[in-house]
Structures are given as C-alpha cells and as structure tokens.
Chain A
C-alpha cells in the first residue's frame, strides 16, 4: 500500500461517500420494488373482486372489505358462538356476502399461494444453487399428485371424508421431501445429491400415478387431471386459516436464514469459512420450503411456474441479496398469481380456466422476453 498524500485521501473519502450514496440508492430501489408489489396486489385484488355475475364496483369492493373488517372485529364474540354463516345472515347485505363469502377467499388464497410458492422457489434456487430449481424440482409436485390420485381414484387415504385429497397430497409431498432429507443426511447434502434424488423420486411418483390412472375410471381420471392443473376455485376460510398458519410459521424462519443463503451463493467452502453450517442450512431451508409448498398445493393443486418465474424476475430487477429478494419475490409472486387468476376468470367468461394453465401461458412469453432483453448475466 502506497502512502497517500492529503489530496488523494480527500478523493478517497469522496469516493467512499459516493459508493455509500450509490449503495443507499440501490437499497432504496429494492424497497421501492417491494412497496410497488404491495400496491399492485392491492389494486389487482380490488379489480379481481369486481368480477363475477353480481355487479360491484371497485370503490364498493374496498369499502365493503374495510366495513367488513370493522364489523368482524366488533362482532368477534358473536362469530365465535354462532359461526360465520349465521354472522353473514345477521349482519351482512347480499353484496357483502358475495365479497366476503365468495370472492375474498379466492383472492386471499391467490395471494397466499403466490407468496408461498414464489418464496419456496427462491429458497430452493438458493439451496441447490441452480437457476432451474423451483418448488417442484425435488419431486414434491409429483408426490402430491400421487397422493391426490390415490384419494380420487381408489378413495384410499390417511383420513376419510372431504379432506382426504388434501391430507393425502400434503402427506405425500412431505414424504418425498423427507426421503430426500434422509438421503442427503446419509450421503452429504450437496446440490447434486439433492437434485438427482429429487428427479428420481419425481419419476417414481409419476409412474405410480400413471398406473393408477391407467386402471382408473374415466371420470376419476378426469378429476385427477383437473386437480393437477391447479386452481383457486376450492378456496374457503377454513382452508385459508390452515394455509396461513403454515406460511406464517415457515416464511419468517426462511427469512432468518437469508444471510446463510447469501453465503451459500459464494460457494460451500467460502460459506463454511464464514461460519455457516452449510449442510444444516441447506436441509433446514429445503424442509421449510417443502412444508410451504406442500401446505399450498394440497389445497390448490400444482400451480406451476410462479415459483420459477417470480424469483428470476425479481433477481433481474433488485439483484440476488436474499434479505430483499425473498420478500420481494413473495409479494411479486402474489401479484402475478392474482393477475393470472383474474385473467383466467375473464378471458372466456363465464368459463373459468384453471389458474395453473394461465400462469404458464402468461409467464412463459414474459419470461422469455425478459431473458432476451437482459444484456448482462443476472444469475
């Protein structure tokens, strides 16, 4: 290091201040992106709630939601003792029932599923350090599909009754991730082991689903196919409460691991020398992401592409720092999924398409356009 004269020191200080200002601006841009995604969700939700046979304007939607929240709080005791249906009948007008009983659950399920799938995708990409990873890379979708198929075609499951498909899909999704967890504990949790094991499991579960479909009744097989498309049509407040519990538990834990995920990004050895327990981080984040994914797709079916596309779009705009990337891709994913569902409901109305189809139809061209337009490497 050369001795610096006073003049040079001054420029050194100036340089520092300049970098600091630039960095602040960069952070500001990330926060702005997160806030914009929030606003986008709010707007799309409002528009989405106006769609349907009963005409309600956007302004009405927001005021009904606001009034409804107040009334629910004021009458919490009544809801506890008489149930939500009785509450609707006693206190709500038809318009309010349409919004609160029919349209809002679907919208909130879209938001939750978008947040969860996008964050699970971001996490998986960080865990296996591979841009192709998504919530489904490690075989979770085909395992869940097998569970659902088992329930639909054979009626066999861990429980009986109306929750059989949900419970089956959830249990099998977790089963596949625990197999991978076990294998990576036995060998070591390297991205290669995890990806290869995941792909192997995916083939196994698809084959098992295939066998069931081969021998299944035509009607049941059709139902399976519908389930696999993924849709928000099965939303209800009970399901949403279960879904939000899982998400509220897992996502803060994933966010706490942001730094460790960042460290994994610069290589395993470097991460280890930074004091990160690499294998543990990988397994914990993977299990949390699996839990989120399972908790969503058991209710919605396998909605594709959000978990792949949202993290990448956000990475292009705000960079790879997981402290910001995780919340940003979650919120942006929610806006994307909600937008896709709004289109799915309007494009050939009154027929409602499964949102899983629209996410791919919209997502792929948008994604390709972004990849082509982007000049520099972002991954």
Chain B
C-alpha cells in the first residue's frame, strides 16, 4: 500500500539538505519499525518519493512524501508512530492512503510561501510598490539551470505576491508560485523586487517558509 504523508520541517532542521531529509525520514521509519518496501537491485533503497526539493535554509509547513509500505498500516498509526521517532523540527501533520499509481510528482502544481526579509532603508508604501512591480508587462530575470543561465519571465510563475505584515524593519511577504520543471523559487521573486526597488532588503537575512504545497 502507498501512503502520502504531509510534514513540516523547521527550526535547526532548516539547515539540512534534501538528501539529508530523505535519510532522516528513512531512519526514523526504521526506528518506528514501519516496514517500508525496498527497491530491487544491488543497493536496495526504500520506495519513498518526495515533492520538489526545498532550498537549504528553508522551512516548510506543508511538504509531502509518498512511501510504499509492506502489508498494511493505518495512516493515523503511521503518523503517530513516526512522530515518536522523528527528530525535533520534523513532524508528520497528515497522512492518507493513495492509489499505487498515484504519483506525487504529477500532483504538485502550486506552492505558497512566506518570506521574511529585513529592510535596510525605508520604503514609503511597500504594498503599492509590489503592485507596481507586478504591473509590468514582463519581469525578466536570469535563472541558473543545469544547462546554464536562462532568461525567464517571472510573470509566468507568480500567482500571487503581497505584503502581509510589517514589524519595524521586518517584512513578511506572501508568494504563491506555479511549480513545474525548472520553475523559480521565492528567492528569485524577492530578489527581483529588491532590484526593482533599488536594493532595500538585506538579502543575506532572508527566511523562506513553504507554507503549503497545493496538490491537484
């Protein structure tokens, strides 16, 4: 049977990579004595698949992984048992059975983020500036990809972008993005805004939280 688990990752676990995360969950399942299926071949590995990788330093409150289980286990039990063996900073928040043919990679279409940034100089009306930023015909940026640097238009990806809170110099932004092969993350959006505003943010102190992956 195949389970889909929704999880959060924050605190110091923001500093572990996608590969580290995969190993951490695999080992936690072994500690919980959850019997997952193994691949065939020379180096058997668990049949687990994750959604799009989070960048180093980012938190999430709504990512998913799929895992194929030997035999049967109640999703509630899976969640309860695994939460006992996961390290602080990782938690399963939901779990349900999906069809064996259901692939996580086909389901992930959009993601919502909050981004905390710090202002280095005063901006009179940031919400209005964001509207001006989005009002342009195109927002071209350079994005690194496997095949080198490519020019892409952020407008093809941004579904929503606004300021949701300002506390002193700390600004919290909300970004909703389309997810597809090679799509840009929220850092590109914030950096493009920063360029547009003439460098007002401390880009070294940017804190990303993927609030939710939206599945269709």
Task: Say whether A associates with B.
Answer: no
A contact set with B: CB distance below 8 Å:
none
